[in-house]
Structure 1
Amino acid sequence: MSAIVRTLLGDIDPAALGAVDYHEHLFQVTPLLRGEELDDPARSRREAELFVASGIDAMVDATPLGLGRRVSDAVEISRRTGLRVVHATGAHHGGHYPDDHPVRALDESALAELFTREITEGFTQPAWEQPAAPVAGPAPRAGIVKTGIRFWNIGDFERRVLAAAASAHARTGVAIMVHTEHGSATLEVLALLDSLGVPADRVILAHMDRNLDSGLHRELAAAGAYLGYDGPARHQYHSDEAIIECAARVVDGHGDRLLLGGDVARRSRYAAYGGMPGLAYLAARFVPRLAERVGDAAVDRILRANPASVLAFSPRA
């Protein structure tokens, strides 16, 4: 079967994705970001409209199980705005889930079955998640698995989730996104996933630009991993200029492994919720500066060819 990308509105040709922001959240609620909830469908839709107007055609919604994802609302936003949405299944690192959270009670097998079912059959919307409104048409399905690790720490829960993600990958072919803390433990997580049968070229390492070590980035890219740069406008970590300079060093030889996103993920930073700079910052302000430094062809590859490649998979029986 030909490779496809699985969006909330159905499977599409990878070439039809357009310009992709590899990491955002239309909705998110987590105890780690109290007061920053993204939980208003009308405001999230308005943010998506501004996002599309900035020049972005598609996004990965990286909100996994138990963190306030509202899949039916995301489907409606995609329909109304034209924003193509590849939505995640999976689970974040344990810090996002209290000790009594139901997702913690699931063993590796149960997690793997849940992730796989959300990819192959449709989102399950467990009772402990936001109640789902009916969705007209085919059931929306996940197109990627989201996981996470902590700062130089891959704990028991995180290992269980990674193993379940590896099983879902083996059954479906979808890629795995790994949240990293400041780009730590990246070689270790690649080694763990490799031991579980997941090749590096099916792995996205998120937040790599919070550790601007181009030597490490080139090593990870040479191994085959995709590197997610999602720190533009997060000046508390690094300036946009520093991120651009690191990207320029990695583009030279490994431009086929970079991805761009915003991971804005906070009410106080969404324009439609009354904050700034909004999702549009990436395309409107960061991308032109990056293009000036590395060239339009390199940026086009980062926004279009690279995400199309990693998000594409051939559905398995």
Structure 2
Amino acid sequence: MIRTVLGDVPAAGFGPADYHEHLFQVSPLLTGDELDDETASGEEALSLVTAGISAMVEATPTGLGRNPAAVARISRATGLQVVHVTGAHREEHYPAGHWLRDADDLTARFTADVTEGLPAEDSPARGPVATGPDGEPVRAGMVKAGVGYWRISPFEQRVLAAVGETAAATGVPVMVHLEYCSAAFEVLELLAAQGVPAHRVVLAHVDRNLDPGLHAELAAVGAYLGFDGMARHREAPDSAILDDLEQLVTAGHTPRILLGGDVARRGRYRAYGGLPGLDYLPRRFLPRLTRRVGEDAVGEMLRHNPARLLTLS
């Protein structure tokens, strides 16, 4: 079973899935790019469904403007299956004095988000649990951590430990935000020490460092590779991401690849007045990828791989 915001669903009926998006997000690092409008975010979610993606991970963790009740309403209205994360992001998203920096109950907090339900509003005391359209609690189905560029700060180490403990206790998988795919093996080692093997972890943003050799090494130890940098042409052209993916497929690493958009900005969502929109992945990128590696490989990346990772263990 996979834990969505509308309840647990059979893995066989999940997907095609975009493994990394945000319907709501507010961070001091993204001033002016807040995702905080339920109607607009719902329109973007519908565009994803219309373009052929029927499932996604809402990757906004604790304290960054997440709105699980609204996500559940959007899921019901659009038919988009959504897995919501708990956990915490890298340190820079939480300014000095933020209550989460000093919280000493991270494991208990993240575990409760999975087992009892996500809070309706993030606060030091957690508060009431968010409920969906049917009055049922909206529970997290994945736990997230984040680290800096070649740095795992003391706060991030505490988060990783709590994330590992939560995943080991509840059976949910782990997503880790990496800066330019740095410290990937170090993160996997820390999680393994908490009882979380690499095959329960997706490393987000591996394509911010387009090194197919490094990616093959990470795939060989069992980690999932999160490709989500499409349409960021100032950083790398889509063609370079396609080249990397084609080399990984040719080398036999298709079962470790996940695809997402991580559009994540008001200025990049059409419903908020920006471009290219949440559906860039299915409309623009997937046709090119299919021509490169074939429908079977793309289907594995969109259906089998996310369903395997997101299934509760």
TM-score (norm 2): 0.96
SS of 2:253's equivalent in the other structure is helix
Partner of 1:127: 123
- CA distance in 2 between counterparts of 1:131 and 1:266 reads 28
- For residues 183-202 of structure 1, the aligned pairs below 5 Å read 183-202=181-200
Aligned partner letter, 1:41: E
- CA distance in 1 between counterparts of 2:260 and 2:201 reads 16
Given the alignment, which residue of 193, 213, 216 partners 1:215? 213
Shift of 1:99: 1.3
Shift of 1:134: 5.4
- For residues 1-317 of structure 1, the aligned pairs below 5 Å read 4-107=1-104, 110-124=105-119, 125-127=121-123, 135=132, 136-252=134-250, 253-314=252-313
- CA distance in 2 between counterparts of 1:80 and 1:41 reads 12
What whole-Å deviation, never above 9, does each CA across 1:21-46 have from its counterpart, x for those lacking one? Answer: 00000000000010000001110011
- CA distance in 2 between counterparts of 1:112 and 1:205 reads 21
What whole-Å deviation, never above 9, does each CA across 1:69-101 have from its counterpart, x for those lacking one? Answer: 011111100010000000000000110001111
Shift of 1:251: 1.4
- 8 Å CA contact 1:21–1:262 kept in 2: the answer is yes
Alpha-carbon spacing, 1:249–1:70, altered in 2? closer, same or farther (3 Å): same
Shift of 1:312: 0.4
SS of 1:231's equivalent in the other structure is coil
SS of 2:302's equivalent in the other structure is helix
- CA distance in 1 between counterparts of 2:45 and 2:122 reads 26
Alpha-carbon spacing, 1:69–1:293, altered in 2? closer, same or farther (3 Å): same
- CA distance in 1 between counterparts of 2:123 and 2:95 reads 17
- CA distance in 2 between counterparts of 1:72 and 1:131 reads 11
Aligned partner letter, 2:180: H
Alpha-carbon spacing, 1:130–1:296, altered in 2? closer, same or farther (3 Å): farther
- CA distance in 1 between counterparts of 2:27 and 2:264 reads 10
What whole-Å deviation, never above 9, does each CA across 1:132-183 have from its counterpart, x for those lacking one? Answer: 8754321010000011000000010000000000110111111110000011
- 8 Å CA contact 2:117–2:129 kept in 1: the answer is no
| Identity over aligned pairs, percent | 56
- CA distance in 1 between counterparts of 2:255 and 2:131 reads 39
Task: Please list every run of 5 or more consecutive structure 1 residues that lacks an aligned counterpart in the other structure.
Answer: none
Aligned partner letter, 1:126: D
- 8 Å CA contact 2:168–2:194 kept in 1: the answer is no
- CA distance in 1 between counterparts of 2:19 and 2:122 reads 26
Aligned partner letter, 1:116: T
- CA distance in 2 between counterparts of 1:268 and 1:179 reads 21
> Which sits farther off after the overlay, 261-270 or 184-193?
184-193
- 8 Å CA contact 2:130–2:137 kept in 1: the answer is no
- 8 Å CA contact 2:257–2:305 kept in 1: the answer is yes
- CA distance in 2 between counterparts of 1:130 and 1:262 reads 32
- 8 Å CA contact 1:70–1:130 kept in 2: the answer is no
Aligned partner letter, 2:113: E
TM-score (norm 1): 0.95
Detail structure 1 runs of 4+ shifted over 4 Å in the superposition.
128-134
- 8 Å CA contact 2:131–2:137 kept in 1: the answer is no
Shift of 1:130: 11
SS of 1:307's equivalent in the other structure is helix
Shift of 1:121: 1.1
- 8 Å CA contact 1:144–1:176 kept in 2: the answer is yes
- 8 Å CA contact 2:268–2:276 kept in 1: the answer is yes
Shift of 1:196: 2.0
- 8 Å CA contact 2:20–2:261 kept in 1: the answer is yes
Alpha-carbon spacing, 1:28–1:130, altered in 2? closer, same or farther (3 Å): farther
Superposition RMSD in Å: 1.4
